[in-house]
Amino acid sequence: MGIERRQFPRVEVSWPVTMLTAKGPIQGEVTNISLGGAFVHCLEEPDSNETFRMIITLPDSRQFLRATARVARSRIYNPDDADELSGIGVRFVDISDDDRQYIRELVAKAQ
């Protein structure tokens, strides 16, 4: 079993996301999320070093979670494992206190 290198615990989710990039909107699905970032299953990615907005649709009474993010890693063009989803790991650059608290509570419930 590998060593966990993540700074923040994550929780598995299945949430639609739109990433607003310089190339235009990119649709995807957030498959896991933490206070520090998320993994987004998608077929294209923002330009490297681009900061972009994310609008994540939540399944409960809140409508959206909004964040500014950057690509931290990519498995779109060279996936390590064919059984894993293609997509990108993103690091949150900016997220509101309310949205951060929502994620904190979600992760706490999952542990």
User: Which ranges constitute the DSSP H helices of 1-111?
Assistant: 97-110
Contact by Cβ (8 Å): 36, 91? yes
Task: List the chain pLDDT tens, one digit each, 111 residues.
Answer: 444 455 778 899 999 999 999 999 999 999 999 999 999 999 888 988 899 999 999 987 768 999 999 999 887 765 555 556 789 999 999 999 999 999 999 999 987
Q: In angstroms, rounded to a whole number, what is the distance separating the alpha carbons of residues 52 and 14?
A: 20
Q: Where are the domains of the chain?
A: 10-110
Q: pTM score, two decimals?
A: 0.85
Give dist(CA 39, CA 63) in Å, integer: 20
Please state which CATH number belongs to domain 10-110. 2.40.10.220
Chain CA centroid to CA 88, Å? 8
Coil, helix or strand at residue 109 = helix
CB 95 within 8 A of CB 70: no
